């Protein structure tokens, strides 16, 4: 079905390519990957640049003290922004292959972040199924907590903090893990098989266990239940790359959209928009 979407930010306001949206402190926060910045926007559409960066960011979340964890995607480094200083936290270059993907900060200030695993700037390079999820603990120590994934991308954590769900973009599925007390991931299982026409990117969890996912190749956003049933489809006139449930009651779905993810096309003619859709079931868990 086609659902009406409200344009919160149109493609004339300078955004290049938005990812990793978060609802925090009454505003939508997100990464502008090719604009190399952390930005936020309020409910009235007032856009603000929080921090300009010297690298292309991916993987993003808030610690309990309000500081921001953010990844340098191509450098495969992790940084922390406390509102004044950007501090280097961890080096993932020996544990990842080419580029960091999406990430999430849990309630213990641990950052989980995926590994794209191949050079997406070169179409001749095929994706691999040997990607990892890395966990950066609050003290900056690094460990690999999951292996053998196919482009681990968007992540969510259940409200009880015991389950992590990750979108495997080139695996066409959502995969779940149990989270142990020390942050380790165990009991890997399929949460939802999606079919080869679905490439899940950014995801958001609702209070009924439904997962909203951006499906860029299908120009759509889907709400998928555990087991794989598609409960709702939002068809767009552009490509969706990430979603987040927020707003005062977490019943607004923010969609990060763009006509392309090709870096050359983006820099020549950016088409990024932020869109809102009202939904029936409130968001839950992290982020």
Residue 12 maps to which CATH number?
2.120.10.30
Instruction: Output the average pLDDT for the chain.
Output: 95
pLDDT tens sequence across 99-111:
999 999 999 999 9
Does residue 30 sit within a domain? yes
Q: Are 202 and 20 in contact (CB under 8 A)?
A: yes
Does residue 283 sit within a domain? no
Across the range 9-17, mean pLDDT stands at 96
Whether the bond between 287 and the residue before it is cis, its omega within 30 degrees of 0, is yes
Does residue 14 sit within a domain? yes
Q: Does pLDDT of 2 surpass 70?
A: no
Query: Per residue in 39-58, is it b (16+ CB within 10 Å) or e — as a string?
Result: bbbeeeeeeeeeeebeebbb
Across the range 75-85, mean pLDDT stands at 97
Q: Does pLDDT of 128 surpass 80?
A: no
Q: What is the C-alpha to C-alpha distance for residues 207 and 281, in angstroms, rounded to an integer?
A: 6
Across the range 174-181, mean pLDDT stands at 98
Q: Are 11 and 272 in contact (CB under 8 A)?
A: yes
pLDDT tens sequence across 231-271:
999 999 999 999 999 999 999 999 999 999 998 999 999 99
Residues of the chain with pLDDT > 90, as a percent, come to 91
Q: Residue 3 — very low, low, confident or very high, per pLDDT cuts 50/70/90?
A: low
pLDDT tens sequence across 46-74:
999 999 999 999 999 999 999 999 999 99
Neighbours of 172 (CB within 10 A): 17
Q: Does pLDDT of 172 surpass 50?
A: yes
List 77's β-bridge partners, or say none. Answer: 72, 91
Across the range 16-44, mean pLDDT stands at 97
pLDDT value, residue 130: 83
pLDDT value, residue 140: 96
Across the range 65-91, mean pLDDT stands at 97
Local structure of 5: helix, strand or coil = coil
Does residue 216 sit within a domain? yes
**Tokens 């990117």 appear where?**
201
If one counts the domains in the chain, the total is: 1
Residues of the chain with pLDDT > 70, as a percent, come to 97
Does residue 181 sit within a domain? yes
| Higher per-residue pLDDT: 263 or 194 | 194
Q: What is the C-alpha to C-alpha distance for residues 47 and 211, in angstroms, rounded to an integer?
A: 27
Q: Does pLDDT of 1 surpass 70?
A: no
Does residue 155 sit within a domain? yes
Q: What is the C-alpha to C-alpha distance for residues 35 and 44, in angstroms, rounded to an integer?
A: 22
Does residue 126 sit within a domain? yes
The residue range of the domain holding 263 is: 6-278
List 246's β-bridge partners, or say none. Answer: 252
Handedness of CA 215, 223, 20, 44 (dihedral sign): positive
Does residue 284 sit within a domain? no
Q: What is the C-alpha to C-alpha distance for residues 242 and 31, in angstroms, rounded to an integer?
A: 11
The distance in angstroms from the start CA to the end CA of the chain is 27
**Own/partner long-range contacts of 4-8 (Cβ < 8 Å, ≥24 apart):** 4/277, 5/234, 5/236, 5/255, 5/275, 5/276, 5/277, 6/275, 6/276, 6/277, 7/273, 7/274, 7/275, 8/41, 8/45, 8/254, 8/274, 8/275, 8/276
Across the range 84-100, mean pLDDT stands at 95
């Amino acid at each position: 079905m086609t659902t009406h979407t409200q344009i919160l930010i149109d493609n004339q306001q300078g955004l290049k390519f938005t990812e990793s949206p978060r609802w925090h402190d009454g505003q939508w926060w997100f990464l502008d990957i090719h604009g190399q910045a952390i930005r936020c926007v309020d409910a009235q559409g007032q856009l603000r640049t929080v921090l300009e960066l010297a690298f292309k960011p991916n993987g993003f979340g808030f610690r309990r003290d309000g500081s921001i964890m953010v990844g340098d995607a191509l450098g495969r480094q992790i940084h922390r922004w406390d509102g004044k200083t950007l501090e280097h936290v961890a080096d993932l270059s020996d544990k990842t292959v080419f580029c960091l993907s999406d990430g999430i900060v849990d309630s213990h200030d641990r950052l989980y972040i995926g590994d794209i695993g191949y050079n997406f700037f070169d179409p001749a390079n095929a994706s691999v199924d040997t990607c990892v999820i890395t966990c950066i603990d609050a003290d900056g120590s690094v460990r690999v907590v999951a292996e053998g994934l196919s482009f681990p991308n968007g992540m969510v954590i259940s409200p009880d903090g015991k389950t992590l769900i990750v979108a495997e973009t080139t695996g066409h599925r959502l995969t779940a893990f149990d989270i142990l007390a020390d942050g380790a991931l165990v009991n890997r299982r399929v949460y939802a098989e999606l079919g080869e026409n679905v490439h899940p990117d950014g995801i958001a969890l609702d209070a009924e266990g439904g997962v909203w996912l951006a499906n860029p190749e299908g120009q759509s956003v889907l709400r998928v239940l555990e087991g794989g049933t598609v409960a709702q489809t939002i068809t767009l006139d552009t490509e969706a790359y990430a979603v987040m449930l927020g707003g005062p009651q977490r019943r607004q779905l923010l969609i990060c959209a763009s006509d392309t993810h090709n870096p050359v096309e983006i820099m020549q003619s950016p088409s990024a928009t932020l869109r809102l859709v009202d939904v029936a079931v409130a968001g839950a868990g992290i982020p």
